């Protein structure tokens, strides 16, 4: 049996909150034998994903397909024109809510195509880890019956699982149940042309002599729209929570780290400031508030989480509070639209991980796509 201690950041999701789940629709139906075989092979490389969590430790004994995979054939067509909220209501409950393992893949065969709904407990890893695994799964599936290619892909993609490599940690506290919000919310998508974002960045440089990022601009647009829609809900103050991936800045993690390699930055604003300021001005404020990511800074962040645990404030172990502000998650650089299991890339992608007052940032060749939930 393999086992590993969870990290300080993992504790934010130890209550099972915010599982990562997407729906991928492919117009061409395909057989799943390759995917099922690939799951079996990759279970040894990505073993925490197929393990169980208990009292601060992830345990893995062996891979059992019936605990992680299910396929269903439906004698009807998948409705690609369905409304956003109906897609969410219908498919967000397809996978089990009380998964025994930390990953589950549901496949539904329709007359007009195939949908995949992979669900991962956030305790297992972040969005980067989710798509790192799915990219590996798709690559191995395509080459399942070419042994030397399969072995090469596994060697190139094999992750590391050293969750406490920067600072030893043992979590033994009890965790409160996740905060449950009402299922009554609106889902809305908005396209932002990439060119508009680049123009905004250049405008800030020329007028304010300040460098901002794409994420600063998109986060500013997200918080501004959130306040516009729900000014009375938030009151005088509103929080913006941004996920920062630390893999590139911290060599001990690197691009092959499978886990929660993130830092959550909370920025406090006055709602009147958000109302009265331009998106560019807000983007500058976001950039000035962002921390410098380094090994020392991240260790300090881990120590801050440890202090919360040591003082028994487990109710604060959550990525954000939707009653106080919004969470922005940028997935635009991840291979969301390039998961080819042998029949081409997905024809429709829908994020099923939806929390009230959250914004997911996706992208295609010409546009950023912001998914709002409020």
Quick: pLDDT tens for 185-221. 899 999 999 999 999 999 999 999 999 999 999 999 9
pLDDT digits (tens, 9 = 90+) for 262-295: 999 999 999 999 999 999 999 999 999 999 999 9
pLDDT digits (tens, 9 = 90+) for 93-103: 999 988 999 99
Mean pLDDT across the chain, nearest whole number? 94
Confidence of residue 248 (pLDDT cuts 50, 70, 90): very high
Question: Which residue ranges form the domains of the chain, and what is each CATH number?
Answer: 2-157 (3.30.559.10), 187-347+354-373 (3.30.559.10)
Tally of CB atoms within 10 A around 44: 14
Nearest CA to 286 among 244, 347, 337? 244
Return all residues near 112 (Cβ < 8 A) that are at least 6 apart. 27, 77, 78
Q: What is the pLDDT of residue 176?
A: 55
Q: What is the pLDDT of residue 174?
A: 67
Return all residues near 280 (Cβ < 8 A) that are at least 6 apart. 200, 203, 204, 207, 208, 212, 217, 220
The sign one gets for the Cα dihedral 33, 39, 40, 42 is positive
Q: What is the pLDDT of residue 173?
A: 77
Return all residues near 327 (Cβ < 8 A) that are at least 6 apart. 241, 242, 243, 319, 320, 355, 357, 358, 359
Q: Which residue has the higher pLDDT, 173 or 224?
A: 224
């Amino acid at each position: 049996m393999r086992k590993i201690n969870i990290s300080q950041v993992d504790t934010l999701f130890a209550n099972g909150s915010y599982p990562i789940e997407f729906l991928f629709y492919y117009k061409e139906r395909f057989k799943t034998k390759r995917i099922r075989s690939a799951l079996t092979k990759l279970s040894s490389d990505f073993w925490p994903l197929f393990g169980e969590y208990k009292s601060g430790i992830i345990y893995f004994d062996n891979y059992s397909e019936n605990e992680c995979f299910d396929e269903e054939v439906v004698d009807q067509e998948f409705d690609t024109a369905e409304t956003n909220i109906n897609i969410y209501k219908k498919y967000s409950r397809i996978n089990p809510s009380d998964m025994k393992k930390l990953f589950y893949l549901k496949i539904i065969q329709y007359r007009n195509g195939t949908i995949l709904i992979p669900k991962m407990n956030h305790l297992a890893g972040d969005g980067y880890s989710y798509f790192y695994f799915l990219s590996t799964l798709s690559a191995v599936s395509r080459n399942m019956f070419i042994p030397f290619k399969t072995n090469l892909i596994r060697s190139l993609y094999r992750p590391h699982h050293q969750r406490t490599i920067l600072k030893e940690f043992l979590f033994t506290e009890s965790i409160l149940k996740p905060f449950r919000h009402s299922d009554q919310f609106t889902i809305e998508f908005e396209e932002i042309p990439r060119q508009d974002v680049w123009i905004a960045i250049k405008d800030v440089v020329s007028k304010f002599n300040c460098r901002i990022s794409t994420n600063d601009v998109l986060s500013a647009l997200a918080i501004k729209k959130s306040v516009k829609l729900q000014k009375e809900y938030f009151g005088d103050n509103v929080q913006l929570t941004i996920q920062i991936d630390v893999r590139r800045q911290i060599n001990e993690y690197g691009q092959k780290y499978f886990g929660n390699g993130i830092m959550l930055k909370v920025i406090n604003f006055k709602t009147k400031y958000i109302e009265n300021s331009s998106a560019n001005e807000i983007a500058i404020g976001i950039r000035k508030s962002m921390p410098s990511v380094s090994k020392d800074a991240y260790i300090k962040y881990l120590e801050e989480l440890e202090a919360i645990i040591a003082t028994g404030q487990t109710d604060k172990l959550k990525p954000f509070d939707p009653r106080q502000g919004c969470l922005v998650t940028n997935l635009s650089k991840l291979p969301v639209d390039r998961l080819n299991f042998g029949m081409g890339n997905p024809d429709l992608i829908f994020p099923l991980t939806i929390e009230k007052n959250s914004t997911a940032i996706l992208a295609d060749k010409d546009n950023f796509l912001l998914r709002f939930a409020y």
